């Protein structure tokens, strides 16, 4: 066994029945940076028989099996990114069985400083807790992130290179925390059955990362040390080996039945269907849903949109979220919650927006004297069924999805008499494949995707090619997307490229270029803010920590210049922002935005373009320590009208 006292390892030899040999790196005397990074040598954690690991996931590491698991304690401060050794001990333990992976953590902290706050799932607020990231691909290609906070709130997401998070995904795992006399502890159980992983016999490699939030200090600690000021994340996790982890074939059948009574129409609607989940091996999953019912899905936030640009709503239906990461072709598809400028926020760009499936139907062709209420036109379509296959073969990952809508009948009026209008349902299809190579220490990938939306009145077909590159030194990241659409209005093309250069920790340069012609149309199944766009963007971000009276300083400059294909500037801006975190954890923020003259070619409702004069926006704010029970925020700003 290996126990950790302070930060010097003490090796204690002990035999583990029903386990593989345990190998952990002896740190010895190394530099701080070496001790904080992941090791090249893979760890091996103990494996126990399922009947020995009878764990009640209650946050208390009081079962006998935990005493047989070695602990490691090597966290450093990553937010702010001082990279200093954590001032309190955090003992982490991992072991696994044929059923899943167990993670335990014991956190030293004065109980009077603990902060427990309850919120809905996946909400980021300042409170004590820990996160665990698992690279199930073993090559930094895809994985999962899990978090447990004091107060009982869970957090989870899927992860793609390097830090693309989809927090809409909610997995079937368990986690809890508990208070102790010297702080708090936590447990999580992650079943192998919910994870995608390459097919393997014998040993397999994965990567892990554990971090801890210390709310009263307003700090995050982790090991390996992977602050957001570094370019690498998923590809830089600590590797570890597992023996004989091959989840058995799984087949799950979920039938359902429901009845809905409409009190206005005095009608009762009955519905029955089923879902099937079949995983013949760890790298292939089939999912089928017949007559699905999504009545238990979380509702969308209310958004008031007075512009001509569509509002993006993220997917919340589990059927479409499970395995959906294979259909993500660009980091721009990531749904960003908050952050950034409210005045210049970028909507996702994606060729697959599954919210289109089962969305509002096409408006039917009816006589001029037929009136269909807007409520009828906007209600969702019923799905007859959907099927999806995702998997991996060697260096190639693939996915196929198809879905079929039922015909929709609209309740309308004609000359003040009841009238029924009917519209055919749509059929959807998606095919995707991507080749990824990590043999050089970085990542090289090229992918292809095709989507089709079939309807008796019109078919919409879109093809895309994407390419990705991460340099072996993790300083350069490139992402390319090319698109071609074929719809009734014609054929359109477009593409964009994003390049990020991080010469050293805390400094980031980002350059982007877009060209989308005025015929490009991916909105039948995808989402894009607008076509008819030529756009150049440059961003510089600087993040520095550990000053005498300042914990952290963040400065950024952002330039964007967007034209339509007629050469008129339609969206431009020059922005600078700053945020200073003081020693008492209060924050000061500033924002200066300049918008040059531009043309608005969208909000005139078809009446042509109109010119908007240049304007300035100035803002400044202060907020007190977010760890306190009462937090004060003061904001002041001024802006010129358009």
Q: What is the pLDDT of residues 240-254, one digit of tens each?
A: 999 988 877 778 888
pLDDT of residue 352: 96
pLDDT classification of 53: cutoffs 50, 70, 90: confident
The token pair that represents 371 in the structure block:
């009136």
Most confident of 63-67, 132-136, 265-269: 132-136
Least confident of 39-48, 213-222, 241-250, 528-537: 241-250
pLDDT of residue 634: 97
**CATH number, domain 2-243:** 2.60.40.1190
Q: In this prediction, what percent of the chain has a pLDDT beyond 70?
A: 92
* Average pLDDT score over residue span 284-308: 81
Residue with tokens 């964009």: 496
* Average pLDDT score over residue span 374-395: 91
* Average pLDDT score over residue span 306-333: 90
Does residue 28 surpass a pLDDT of 80?
Answer: no
pLDDT of residue 20: 36
* Average pLDDT score over residue span 223-229: 94
pLDDT classification of 336: cutoffs 50, 70, 90: confident
Q: What's the CA gap between 132 and 533, in Å, rounded?
A: 40
Q: What's the CA gap between 352 and 372, in Å, rounded?
A: 30
pLDDT of residue 35: 53
User: Phi and psi for 365 in degrees, rounded to 5?
Assistant: -85, 110
Asked if 615 contacts 640 with a C-beta cutoff of 8 angstroms, the reply is yes
* Stronger pLDDT, 156 or 27, i.e. the higher one: 156
Encode burial over 167-188: b for 16+ CB neighbours within 10 A, e otherwise: bbbbbebbbbbeebeebbbbbb
Q: Is the torsion defined by CA of 199, 203, 206, 209 positive or negative?
A: positive
Least confident of 102-111, 433-442, 600-609: 600-609
In degrees, rounded to 5, the angle at the alpha carbon of residue 378 between the alpha carbons of residues 374 and 383 is: 145
* Average pLDDT score over residue span 200-204: 84
Does residue 340 surpass a pLDDT of 60?
Answer: no
Region at 329 (left for phi over 0; alpha for psi -120 to 50; beta for the rest): alpha
pLDDT of residue 564: 95
Q: What's the CA gap between 608 and 642, in Å, rounded?
A: 17
pLDDT classification of 378: cutoffs 50, 70, 90: confident
pLDDT classification of 337: cutoffs 50, 70, 90: low
């Amino acid at each position: 066994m290996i126990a950790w006292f302070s930060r010097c390892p003490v090796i204690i030899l002990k035999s583990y029945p029903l386990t593989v040999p345990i190998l952990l790196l002896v740190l010895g005397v190394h530099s701080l940076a070496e001790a904080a990074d992941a090791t090249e040598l893979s760890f091996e954690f103990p494996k126990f028989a399922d009947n020995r690991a009878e764990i009640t996931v209650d946050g208390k590491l009081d079962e006998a099996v935990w005493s047989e698991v070695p602990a490691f304690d090597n966290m450093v401060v990553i937010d702010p990114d001082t990279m200093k050794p954590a001032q309190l001990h955090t003992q982490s333990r991992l072991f696994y069985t044929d059923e899943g992976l167990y993670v335990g953590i014991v956190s030293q902290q004065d109980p009077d400083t603990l902060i427990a706050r309850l919120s809905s799932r996946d909400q980021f607020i300042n409170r004590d807790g820990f996160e665990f990231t698992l690279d199930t691909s073993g090559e930094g290609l895809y994985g999962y992130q899990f978090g447990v906070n004091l107060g009982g709130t869970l957090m989870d997401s899927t992860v793609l290179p390097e830090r693309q998070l989809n927090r809409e995904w909610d997995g079937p795992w368990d986690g809890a925390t508990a208070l102790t006399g010297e702080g708090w502890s936590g447990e999580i159980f992650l079943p192998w059955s919910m994870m995608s992983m390459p097919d393997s016999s014998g040993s397999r490699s994965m990567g892990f990362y554990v971090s801890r939030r210390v709310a009263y200090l307003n700090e995050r600690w982790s090991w390996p040390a992977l602050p957001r000021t570094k370019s690498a994340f998923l590809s830089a996790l600590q590797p570890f080996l597992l023996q004989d982890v091959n989840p058995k074939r799984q087949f799950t059948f979920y039938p359902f039945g429901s009845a809905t009574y409409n009190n206005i129409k005095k009608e009762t609607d009955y519905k029955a269907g089923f879902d099937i989940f079949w995983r013949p091996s760890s790298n292939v999953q089939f999912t089928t849903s017949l007559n699905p019912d999504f009545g238990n899905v979380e509702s969308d936030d209310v958004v008031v949109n007075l512009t001509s640009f569509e509002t993006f709503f993220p997917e919340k239906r589990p059927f479409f979220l499970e395995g959906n990461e294979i259909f993500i072709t660009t980091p721009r598809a990531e749904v960003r919650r908050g952050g950034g400028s409210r005045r210049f926020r970028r909507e996702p760009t994606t060729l697959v927006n599954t919210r289109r499936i089962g969305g509002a139907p096409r408006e039917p062709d009816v006589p001029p004297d037929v009136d269909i209420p807007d409520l009828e036109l906007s209600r969702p379509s019923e799905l007859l069924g959907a099927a999806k296959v995702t998997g991996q073969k060697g260096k190639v990952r693939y996915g196929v999805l198809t879905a079929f809508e039922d015909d929709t009948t609209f309740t309308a009026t004609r000359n003040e008499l009841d009238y029924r209008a009917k519209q055919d349902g749509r059929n959807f299809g998606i095919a995707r494949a991507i080749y990824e190579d990590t043999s050089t220490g970085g990542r090289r990938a090229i992918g292809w995707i095709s989507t089709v939306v079939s309807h008796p009145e019109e078919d919409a077909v879109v093809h895309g090619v994407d390419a990705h590159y991460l340099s072996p030194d993790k300083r350069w990241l490139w992402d390319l997307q090319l698109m071609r659409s074929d719809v009734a209005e014609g054929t359109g093309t477009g593409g964009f490229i994003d390049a990020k250069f991080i010469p050293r920790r805390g400094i980031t340069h980002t350059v982007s270029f877009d060209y989308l012609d005025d015929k490009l149309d991916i909105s039948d199944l995808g989402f894009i803010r607008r076509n008819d766009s030529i756009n150049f963007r440059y961003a510089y971000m600087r993040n520095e920590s550990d000053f005498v009276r300042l914990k952290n300083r963040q400065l950024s400059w952002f330039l964007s210049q967007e034209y339509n294909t007629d050469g008129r500037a339609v969206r431009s801006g020059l922005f600078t922002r700053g945020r200073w975190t003081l020693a008492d954890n209060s924050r000061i923020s500033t924002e200066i935005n300049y918008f040059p003259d531009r043309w608005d070619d969208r909000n005139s409702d078809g009446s042509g373009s109109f010119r908007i004069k240049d304007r300035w926006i100035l803002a400044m704010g202060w907020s007190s320590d977010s760890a306190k029970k009462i937090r004060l925020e003061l904001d002041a700003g001024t802006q010129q009208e358009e």
